[in-house]
Chains A and B, each alone.
Chain A
Amino acid sequence: MRYAMVIDTLKCVGCSDCVVACQTENDVPIGYCRDWITETVDGTYPNIVLELKSERCNHCDNAPCVRCCPTGASHIVDGGIVLVTPNECIGCGACIQSCPYDARYQHPEGYVDKCTFCHHRLEKGQLPACVSVCPTKCMYFGDLDNPNSEVSKLLKNRKWKTLAPEAGTKPNVYYLI
């Protein structure tokens, strides 16, 4: 089992529904967010290309945050999901310093928090909150080890990219371009 998220940047309209769904589902404190939308404009008018992306923790195969955690609070569970155990986290900030995606933040209660791919929903057989609410259905979630899953097929048939692959983290959030 290897969970991955595939996001179609050609279908995303940047509505921020995924952001709000995550904040509601996971009780994210006000002012914080586990996912966010970026708008990238390339070129100068009139020759411009616009790209909208919903970004979050990439649940990297080679996760630097897990490597540098001094207590083992950051760990990888079945399916390659990177999680933080609040009661093992001392709030040293090493994982925040090590994340090339700046996907982690210090929860006001002190421990470090981030996207969990909605691990608690996956256990019940549901999709992550962000994926389930997307109005343009531009987000896909599934198992890369299964060649017949929707995400495997999309990555086989479409052009895609990952964020900052040069950081060597082997991210598991893919963007169709």
Chain B
Amino acid sequence: MQEELFTSGRNIPHIDPSLEIWHWPISVYLFLGGLAAGLLLFAGLVTILGKEKEYPTPVKYASIITPIALSLGLLALVYDLTHPLYTWQLYTTIRLESPMSWGAWVLLVTTPLSYLWVFSYFSEIFPKRNLKFNFLKNFEKFLKKNRKNMAYALIPLSIILGVYTGVLLSAFNARPLWNNAILGPLFLASGLSTGAATIILLSKTAKEKYLFSKIDLALIIIELGLIVHMIMGMYAGSQVQLDAMNLLIGGEFTLMFFGFVIILGLIVPGILELLEIKGYKVPVAIPAILILIGGLIFRFVIVEAGQLTRYLY
């Protein structure tokens, strides 16, 4: 038996008895960042493949959500900083070893680009509204011409953004639950899945719903596979990783993780989408909303549970 305690009465706010430096804004940001990455990737892909006419939702209506999601996400991030007046220090340096530095720079490029993207569709989204100034009209025309170029930039940027939400966590070797290489691809897959779900929700044509249900089903299967890999990898790991996994399996996060993330957030919507693809009538809003809620809860579970795992004490 071993018992360890602080005799000098250590009780530092947010660190003892359990670490809680990162609160709900981080989970919300990771969700919104993943969602935006998914929406941007689909918008870019559809544009490059030249299928804007057939699939208008990902390029037009869903892309209105992207800048809103990114801006809210950025606000959430800054809200969780404790020295926010110095945020500009992020942009005085490029630190290749720090995932957060990568994220800050990618967001600096991607957020304005997502606004420009929506602006290039302004007349098509709001056909009754006229741009008042000539230079705005010219600017829209210029953006319209460069849509393909924007799309080429958006694809790598959105993938980095989606992976970054996971790598941000997996780079911390002091939090054993986070410290596994699968978290990056897992968060990317989850982000793409929430993006596809949003497109299904906003879409008005059966053809589009069919395609994105298929894409979403594939992403759900990939996600389930990656989760199995994560669990197996952790169980083959060291004691701290075993302890971390026990939080999710047979610990205080079991219900949240298996009930809400895996069953309600992945398996049930997966089955519903499969039925829909097979031709049964399923209201597509149900799986789409389940995926969005499941994705949000997934971020909360990983962020909260990860902070309970540590090496000492």
Contact = CB atoms under 8 A, between A and B. Distances in A.
Given A16-B8, A90-B87, A97 B1 contact: no
B90 A37 contact: no
Interface residues of A, number: 50
A19 interface: yes
Interface string B95-131: 1011111011000000000000000000000000000
A52 interface: yes
Contact of B171 (A39, A52, A68): A68
Contacts of A99: 174
Interface of chain B, main secondary structure: loop
Interface residues of B, number: 49
A40 to B, nearest CB: 5
B172 to A, nearest CB: 5
Contact of B312 (A32, A97, A101, A105): A101
Interface string A74-115: 000000000000111111111011111110011001110000
A101 B310 CA distance: 8
A80 B229 CA distance: 38
Interface stretch (B12-20, B66-74, B198-206): B12-20
Interface centre among B13, B83, B173, B310 (most CB of A within 10 A): B83
B175 interface: yes
Contact of A68 (B12, B86, B98): B98
Interface stretch (A3-11, A41-49, A120-128, A133-141): A41-49
A167 interface: yes
Nearest to A71: B89
Given A41-B2, A97-B21, A102-B313, A72 B175 contact: no
B4 A64 contact: no
Nearest to B10: A36
Nearest to B239: A166
Contacts of A149: none
A127 B5 CA distance: 28
A60 B144 CA distance: 52
B84 interface: yes
A38 B6 contact: yes
B73 to A, nearest CB: 14
A97 B2 CA distance: 25
Given A31-B12, A40-B4, A97-B307, A106 B89 contact: no
B311 A87 contact: no
A164 interface: yes
A37 B21 contact: no
A144 interface: no
A33 interface: yes
Contacts of B307: 97
A91 B82 contact: yes
A67 B96 CA distance: 9
B22 interface: yes
Given A64-B172, A102-B313, A32 B12 contact: yes
Contact of B95 (A43, A69, A100, A109): A69
Given A39-B4, A70-B95, A98 B172 contact: yes
Contacts of B3: 40-41
A167 B13 contact: no
Contacts of A36: 6, 8, 10
B312 A100 contact: yes
Contacts of B5: 38-39
Interface centre among A41, A72, A109, A168 (most CB of B within 10 A): A72
A57 interface: no
Interface in B1-51: 1-8, 10-16, 19, 21-22
Nearest to A106: B82
Nearest first, the 6 A-B pairs at minimum CB distance are A91-B82, A91-B83, A110-B83, A70-B100, A93-B21, A70-B101
